[in-house]
Structure 1
Amino acid sequence: MARWIESLEAAARRIEPAHHSEAEPVRSVVLFLWAALVALAHLLLNTVWLLPELQVAVFHFASLGLLALGWLQAPPRSRIGRWLSMAAGLVLVLAAVAVVVLETPLYERGLVFGWLDWLACVLIVGLAIELGRRAAGWLIPILILALLAYAAGLGRNLGGVFAFPGLGLDTLLFRAVFTSEGLFGTIARISWSYVFMFVLFGAFLLRSGAGELILGLAHRAAGRWTGGPGLVAVGASGLMGSITGSAVANTASTGVITIPLMKRSGFPPRFAAGIEAAASTGGQLMPPVMGAGAFLMANFTGLSYLSILGAALLPAILYFCSLAFMVRIRARRLGLVPAPLDEKEGLGETTAGWALLLPLAVLIGLLVAGFTPVYAAGLAILAVVAASWLTPRPMGLLAILEALAMGARNMMATAMLLIAVGLIVNVLTTTGLGNTLSIMIAQWSGSSLLIALALVALASLVLGMGLPVTAAYIVLAAVSAPTLHALILQADLAQALAAGQVSELAREAVLLASPSAEAWLGQPMPLDQAQSLVAAMTPDLQRTAAEALLDPALLAGSLLAAHLIIFWFSQDSNVTPPVALAAFTAAGIAGERPMATGLTAWKLAKGLYLIPLLFAYTPLVRGDWLEALSVAGFALAGLYALAGVLEGWLEGPLSLPARLALLGLGAGLLWPMSTPWLALVCLAGLVAMVWRTRRD
């Protein structure tokens, strides 16, 4: 028994946050067991137990909220602090129970609030704001309070498009707590189902030893290449990020191995930290987890989770290739040679845990077979435990408890953030403020998709200074996704009209906007003329014509492209100073200055801004696989050229005129509106420049 208790204490210490290193052993074990129990309950609620969604969402918030009260901040040192922490936990539990118990009587009274309803709703909203603050800082609560004040009456004092008559406090609280747009609505359901299950799946994989397997495979695959340690960091972070879904956790887990490895091989510490941060950020772009992005996108767009994964895979590969180009070019510039691998370490030893790849195969196979993501993740978790018994490190009871607790710990901050953000989405939808801001973006862009993309990127940059990735995506999606979707559809519609594709319904829509077009409608026309026709149509007529002319798959792809653009832009908060959590984490491991590391990571992660252009203007995520691969091939060459421009080196040094010429070639290969012959010319020019620099 004593040995079991010691093992339990050791497991609790392993998963505790760093700022809890001095916590009392009893407190550590209690939080550890509670975290494991919470994760087990979520696993059962998502697979076996069927409860009303409000009850599950409230349990999700309260159970993980208790963990957040215990783990998101350092444990209080004074007795008063400990009593206050316990009191906050008790209030959280009582308020959560009250919300569930009072729901039915509230409906029976015709939504007339009693004093208990007031108290429970005020407490639950206040606790959600406070826990959101602990998870993500002060910007979330400030934004929530400002929007709640706007909805409660501040909007009456504003003029113009921002004027809003205001809601009664009881109506506002009811919508915040009991409706599908509030705290315990759609976003909370995504949190307690899809996101939690995949985070838990990642925790089981990591605890089973899959992390070491990934690092080993990456090392064997890339170790003999120029810049091998840097390529290992890129590959390992991409694979690890595909299961963890957290850029910061990815940086912390792989960076402690890859950053010292890169430094020993000759890479500058700042570059090593920047590559790790940029690669870990890309982990949130790589299926199957993508942070919470894939599940939120599925909810926003109504598209299947599997279709989103299929569309997201090729762009994610492009992003990691852009980082690999930077690593290789920097290694050649520094004159680094491949380090020989230890020949005693055979492939069999590296892949001793090969069976841990089976759960990923189970997950993908179930998704392809049509099972729900939650069900697939649940069976994949069981597959991890079963597969571990085919490796030298089988998972016993303690390892399973540790994986459960790790999953709950990794999920608590994300859950608090998602639930708090529900208040923001509630106000944006209830007041119509989201539509107003979307219309303003459309007006400022002047119906130019490129300008709209620049505005969304700028808004993402500003939001990323205070909001984590998931929150920034949700806010931007609510505000700017309709505008981007409409502008992408306008471009597709103009191309269809220019090609002479006109159905009867589309003809009527065009003629209502421009009767003089009847004489030449249905014949090929210049693209600018087609664009003028589309611009003359009202948004409703544009939608009608698009639905009549465009393939349904293209319509769905346009909506997905708009959300993918926003999701990619929102990732820059991980690597963009002054708030760049992944870059700061990598800087700490490398012993470098945080701000300088953030700027380096930002430069290296240039694909976050370049690749989304392809979503908007090309079939990369909207066409068939042949079209997507064609676009990706040219884009790959363009990214290689731009990496050479940034480094001043290709296969050899580049003069200033050569860099300028290379910039033009890279832009021609990447610029999605270029004609095919121009892209081929640029590709030939790039090949010639590579050959020349290699000879020199």
Structure 2
Amino acid sequence: MTARTDSTPENVTPIIVEGVDQEPVESNRRLFTGVSLAVIATIMAVYAFFHVAALNGLSLSAMTWGVLDFEFLPSMPLETWNFRIVHLAGALGLGFLIYAGCGFPTSTQKESRWIDWLSIPLLLAALFAFGMAIWFAIDIAGGAKWNGIDKTIKFRETWLYGAPLMVSTVCAIILSWFHKRDRAAVTMPDVVLAVCAMAVAAYLIVIYGTLMRNATGTPFAPIGISIAAVAGTLLIMELTRRVAGLALVVISAIFLGYVFIGHNLPGFLNSPRVTWERFFSQLYTDTGILGPTTAVSSTYIILFIIFAAFLQSSKVGDYFVNFAFALAGRARGGPAKVAIFASGLMGMINGTSAGNVVATGSLTIPLMKKVGYDKKTAGAIEAAASTGGQIMPPIMGAGAFIMAEITGIPYAEIAIAAIVPAILYFVSIYFMVDLEAAKRAMRGMRDDELPKVVQMLKQVFLFIPILILIIALFMGYSVIRAGTLAIVSAAVVSWLTPTRMGIKDVIKAFENAGQMSIQIIAVCGCAGIIVGVISLTGVGARFSNVLLDIADQSQLLALFFAMCISILLGMGMPTTAAYAVAASVVAPGLVALGIPMLTAHFFVFYFAVVSAITPPVALASYAAAGISGANAMETSTASFKIGIAAFIVPFMFFYNAALLMDGTWWQVLRASATAVVGVYFLSAGVQGWFFGGRTVWFLRIGLVVAALLMIEGGWRTDLIGIAVAAGVIAIQKIFNPKPGATLRATGMD
């Protein structure tokens, strides 16, 4: 990303943002050249286009021969499980080829080419396993009866398919951890892993196609299903380690370990004893890896990733940030408010909070430091703002699609319900930023430092793809059809700009989408492992009973406990995985308390999102600290403070459903207005700045009390809260107490 400057007669250089939505290059991503680049790029583009074609009802023959049917059909021609298996296998294969298992050699290190030669037998074994899966398909097509009891079939699956597959998978993963090659080289261990992913997919498609899915979890399930699931699980966890770090992998490993030691644990953690064959034969089904997380990643998520790639090619992301600078840059502490606006716009189409920080923070954080924010606060503001993008309708990152899949609530209804919570979140961030700027007597940016509003308004048509998406959703079109229309409109709108999208640009957009989708697909697959463990062991239901027991003492205490568990489960994980896990563990317990399903899931979704700025493991804050140069823990603590209102808002849902659009227009407007006032009081209390001056500690407590009184949304508590705030104003104006020196020394004021 760059910030271009254009000279003016006064020699002032206004900021013109370029490349803000370009994907950062990860430290372990390979940068291919020549033939390798052409081959990988083609595969990525075909992979992304395959999803658009399949989701819109094109048959395989149409995709292959070009006999296109332009009608948007509601169903997919591919069988659902097979589609998800292919979706996962494609991401695994591409992921292993693109992301290295370890770092690249430095100038003083030699390449370990001998590992490539050592991997050749593994490649032959993986190809043999793949060939056996094809042989099984031919055998079954010829009338062979397949089950888990026949000894001949069991021998074939164990030793002719399973053994080569497992040896290749395990050994290739281990070798990839130590294999250093040039950044442009394709390594043999990763080719082996890609073939293993294809072998897993081929076998499962063949066996599930014989209706053997009905036998999963029973003695009639072929042993090959369990072996393929073990190999697939290892492949998913290894790719997740490469693209998202160890946090989610470690949590998945703990859950998998729980399956086999749970029968030895006390209390609600105790689970029935289960064999590995039975468990894994069910894990790679719609109760686990092929369940809600993969269902969403293979449909809605990848569709909107393609939409984001088309917006990137048409330079809409640059326009979003320039538009934000033009509108908000003049306000005091301008770059911080630009970060709020731009991160909200970018974050709603970006699948991760940390990715949003990297996309916009590399520009906004240095500018915030320039106008007077210290590096810790600058990073914290960007982290909090970028995290909020995950709750910004209509797209809301990826978690909202999983919510629709799990709850059965229409996506459009979820997007509407998210409007007021999103407003409250960003208003709270704005108040915190504005009060911080007031305390520091900061200025805004000058007109000659900013893009011209008039020029930005001339390009307002670049919002058309977003508007088409919103209008299509509210007209009742399916999410798939609305997303497809938005993709097409992004290409069409580009023809009104100097950056017109031609055939090459469209292909490049599909290529970028293929690469961008790998991380989120791997994360969703890994989250599916956890969801599968929760579902198959019944620990989620037992956790619900714990919540019910706590609620007997205090319902508020039960909600607080649910909040802590949601944040704990989400720490170190991307938003999608964090919500998927919390929705499986916590949400059913809240529903059992009598809380409406939408409210319960929004409750855990909110806390899964803000786990990205919650110490001690705050991914968004850590990403911001890397850009600002501040201490990571200090940045995460500061971002927690700035986003403090986000930890109150979910409790507002519980006490006042009107905040989720459940009520009359008058009820919604009144609840929203009082909630905004309450958020302001909370921000003023936290920042210690109210009505143009610093506030003494006991008045700050009074403001926080006023804010909390307005959470419930009832007339009585609202009036009491307003009365308390009025008392604070009166004391501050009449007596004007000054914060003590001790408080100043501690930084509390």
Same fold? TM cut 0.5 = yes
Q: Relative to structure 2, which stretch is displaced further, 311-320 or 131-140?
A: 131-140
Is 1:18 matched with 2:26? yes
Quickly say closer, same or farther: Cα 1:118–1:598, change in 2 above 3 A: closer
Structure 1 SS opposite 2:368: helix
Is 1:615 matched with 2:721? no
Counterpart mapping for 1:20-59 below 5 A: 23-26=31-34, 27-49=36-58, 50-59=77-86
Cα deviation, residue 684, structure 1: 4.2
Residue 89 of structure 2: aligned partner: 62
State the Cα deviation string for residues 43-91 of structure 1 (Å, max 9, x = none): 1111133200111111111111122213344576533232111111111
Letter in 1 for 2:358: A
State the Cα deviation string for residues 13-40 of structure 1 (Å, max 9, x = none): 9757231577442444443332222111
Letter in 2 for 1:132: T
Cα deviation, residue 611, structure 1: 0.7
Structure 2 SS opposite 1:291: coil
Contact 1:251 1:277 in 2 (8 A): yes
Residue 302 of structure 1: aligned partner: 408
Q: Relative to structure 2, which stretch is displaced further, 256-265 or 271-280?
A: 256-265
Quickly say closer, same or farther: Cα 1:137–1:266, change in 2 above 3 A: closer
Letter in 1 for 2:112: S
Structure 2 SS opposite 1:389: helix
Please give the alpha-carbon distance, in whole angstroms, between the structure 2 residues aligned to 1:117 and 1:677.
Answer: 63
Q: Relative to structure 2, which stretch is displaced further, 247-256 or 406-415?
A: 406-415
1:124 equivalent among 232, 245, 268: 232
Quickly say closer, same or farther: Cα 1:246–1:624, change in 2 above 3 A: farther
2:667 equivalent among 605, 620, 627: 627
Residue 567 of structure 2: aligned partner: 461
Residue 642 of structure 1: aligned partner: 682
Is 1:247 matched with 2:274? no
Residue 169 of structure 1: aligned partner: 276
Cα deviation, residue 617, structure 1: 0.6
Please give the alpha-carbon distance, in whole angstroms, between the structure 2 residues aligned to 1:298 and 1:324.
Answer: 29
Counterpart mapping for 1:45-194 below 5 A: 45-49=54-58, 50-73=77-100, 77-79=111-113, 80=115, 81=179, 82-105=187-210, 107=212, 112-114=220-222, 116-151=224-259, 153-177=260-284, 179-194=285-300
Residue 535 of structure 1: aligned partner: none
Contact 1:92 1:124 in 2 (8 A): yes
Contact 2:706 2:722 in 1 (8 A): no
Cα deviation, residue 658, structure 1: 2.7
Please give the alpha-carbon distance, in whole angstroms, between the structure 2 residues aligned to 1:60 and 1:22.
Answer: 22
Quickly say closer, same or farther: Cα 1:137–1:257, change in 2 above 3 A: closer
Counterpart mapping for 1:67-466 below 5 A: 67-73=94-100, 77-79=111-113, 80=115, 81=179, 82-105=187-210, 107=212, 112-114=220-222, 116-151=224-259, 153-177=260-284, 179-342=285-448, 345-466=451-572
Contact 1:150 1:166 in 2 (8 A): no
Contact 2:350 2:356 in 1 (8 A): yes
Please give the alpha-carbon distance, in whole angstroms, between the structure 2 residues aligned to 1:646 and 1:584.
Answer: 23
Quickly say closer, same or farther: Cα 1:166–1:305, change in 2 above 3 A: same
Residue 505 of structure 1: aligned partner: none
State the Cα deviation string for residues 635-691 of structure 1 (Å, max 9, x = none): 212222222222222211222333233233223333546534324424544665787
Please give the alpha-carbon distance, in whole angstroms, between the structure 2 residues aligned to 1:448 and 1:695.
Answer: 38
Q: Relative to structure 2, which stretch is displaced further, 291-300 or 25-34?
A: 25-34
Please give the alpha-carbon distance, in whole angstroms, between the structure 1 residues aligned to 2:408 and 2:524.
Answer: 19
- Which structure 1 residue ranges, 5 or more long, are not aligned? 1-10, 490-557
Contact 1:669 1:683 in 2 (8 A): no
Is 1:681 matched with 2:723? yes
Q: TM-score, normalised by structure 2?
A: 0.77
Contact 1:245 1:283 in 2 (8 A): no
State the Cα deviation string for residues 356-407 of structure 1 (Å, max 9, x = none): 2111111111111111111110111000000110122211233323322332
Please give the alpha-carbon distance, in whole angstroms, between the structure 2 residues aligned to 1:675 and 1:585.
Answer: 40
- Which structure 2 residue ranges, 5 or more long, are not aligned? 1-18, 59-76, 105-110, 116-178, 180-186, 739-749
Cα deviation, residue 106, structure 1: 6.2
Is 1:595 matched with 2:633? yes
Cα deviation, residue 268, structure 1: 1.6
Residue 474 of structure 1: aligned partner: 580
Quickly say closer, same or farther: Cα 1:138–1:228, change in 2 above 3 A: closer
Is 1:665 matched with 2:706? yes
Please give the alpha-carbon distance, in whole angstroms, between the structure 2 residues aligned to 1:586 and 1:37.
Answer: 34
Residue 68 of structure 2: aligned partner: none
Quickly say closer, same or farther: Cα 1:422–1:338, change in 2 above 3 A: closer
Contact 2:340 2:382 in 1 (8 A): yes
Contact 2:645 2:682 in 1 (8 A): no
Structure 1 SS opposite 2:418: helix
Alignment RMSD (CA, Å): 2.8
Contact 1:359 1:380 in 2 (8 A): yes
The sequence identity of aligned pairs, in percent, is: 32
Contact 2:352 2:574 in 1 (8 A): no
Quickly say closer, same or farther: Cα 1:583–1:661, change in 2 above 3 A: same
Cα deviation, residue 286, structure 1: 0.6
Structure 1 SS opposite 2:299: helix
Greater fraction of residues in helix: 1
Quickly say closer, same or farther: Cα 1:391–1:686, change in 2 above 3 A: farther
Q: TM-score, normalised by structure 1?
A: 0.82
Letter in 2 for 1:586: A
State the Cα deviation string for residues 103-129 of structure 1 (Å, max 9, x = none): 234629966344544543332232223
Quickly say closer, same or farther: Cα 1:656–1:187, change in 2 above 3 A: closer
Quickly say closer, same or farther: Cα 1:117–1:321, change in 2 above 3 A: closer
Letter in 1 for 2:664: D
Contact 1:209 1:353 in 2 (8 A): no
Contact 1:652 1:694 in 2 (8 A): no
Letter in 2 for 1:393: T
Quickly say closer, same or farther: Cα 1:187–1:198, change in 2 above 3 A: same
Quickly say closer, same or farther: Cα 1:693–1:191, change in 2 above 3 A: farther
Letter in 2 for 1:663: V
Please give the alpha-carbon distance, in whole angstroms, between the structure 1 residues aligned to 2:312 and 2:31.
Answer: 24
Please give the alpha-carbon distance, in whole angstroms, between the structure 1 residues aligned to 2:320 and 2:378.
Answer: 19
Please give the alpha-carbon distance, in whole angstroms, between the structure 2 residues aligned to 1:140 and 1:324.
Answer: 32
Residue 578 of structure 1: aligned partner: 616
Letter in 2 for 1:475: V
Contact 1:15 1:402 in 2 (8 A): no
Please give the alpha-carbon distance, in whole angstroms, between the structure 2 residues aligned to 1:685 and 1:374.
Answer: 53
Corresponding residue pairs, total: 615
Contact 2:336 2:378 in 1 (8 A): yes
Please give the alpha-carbon distance, in whole angstroms, between the structure 2 residues aligned to 1:578 and 1:85.
Answer: 34
Please give the alpha-carbon distance, in whole angstroms, between the structure 2 residues aligned to 1:160 and 1:662.
Answer: 42
Letter in 2 for 1:269: K
Quickly say closer, same or farther: Cα 1:23–1:46, change in 2 above 3 A: same
